[in-house]
Amino acid sequence: MVRLTHNPIDYHALTEAVRGPHYGAVALFLGTVRDLTGDQVTEFLVYEAYPPMAEKKMAEIEAEVRRRWTVGEVALVHRIGRLGVGEVSVAVAVSALHRAAAFDACRYAIDTLKELVPIWKKETAPDGVGGWVHPTSELRNAECGMRNKDTIEGDAQ
């Protein structure tokens, strides 16, 4: 199951939806809005998607997860619109017989989502300054530990 939504993500319902008596393991990942990126304060984020392509790519990620691992249920949900600090921007939940598949599939799904799915975030600081985040490929490839060096381009309003 994949979905884009303007509403807060109910990750508890999502986790319950992937749980089942056949599956001994559930892995859940939540991405949430941080108040600081390096020393830059974030007041809120705006996520924008190219919806038909984003949902298609998310469905392809689910299909690839099912091809690579024996999993039970898979859920990928990304929120779009304005999100305040602490809100959940993305949730990935995977159930499986055993934990290795649940962890590996969950991580593959979020890693691939961040690499391929056409969704963008715009950061806004308390002073109103901000901009769209368009990582350079070097930084993107350097994994999430480097995300706070993402390029922020331009000033919004």
User: Which residue ranges make up the site for other proteins (CB under 8 A)?
Assistant: 31, 47-50, 52-54, 56-57, 78, 89-90, 99, 110, 113-122, 131-137, 140, 150, 153-154, 156
Where does this chain bind its own copies (CB under 8 A)? 11-12, 15, 19-36, 85-86, 97-103, 106-107, 110, 143-145, 147
Q: Are 149 and 40 in contact (CB under 8 A)?
A: no
The residue (of 63 and 144) whose beta carbon lies closer to its own copies is: 144
CA 61 to chain centre: 12
As measured in angstroms, the least distance from the Cβ of 75 to its own copies is 13
Q: Which residues pair with 22 in a beta bridge?
A: none
Residue 50 interacts with, from other proteins, its own copies, none (CB under 5-8 Å by kind) = other proteins
As measured in angstroms, the least distance from the Cβ of 68 to other proteins is 20
Tell me, what DSSP letter sits at residue 98? S
Q: Where are the beta strands (DSSP E) in the chain?
A: 2-5, 25-32, 36-37, 40-41, 44-49, 71-79, 81-84, 88-96, 119-124, 130-133, 152-153
First and final C-alpha spacing in the chain: 37
The residue (of 47 and 69) whose beta carbon lies closer to other proteins is: 47
Residue 32 interacts with, from its own copies, other proteins, none (CB under 5-8 Å by kind) = its own copies
Closest CA relative to residue 125, chosen from 22, 33, 59: 33
The residue (of 127 and 138) whose beta carbon lies closer to other proteins is: 138
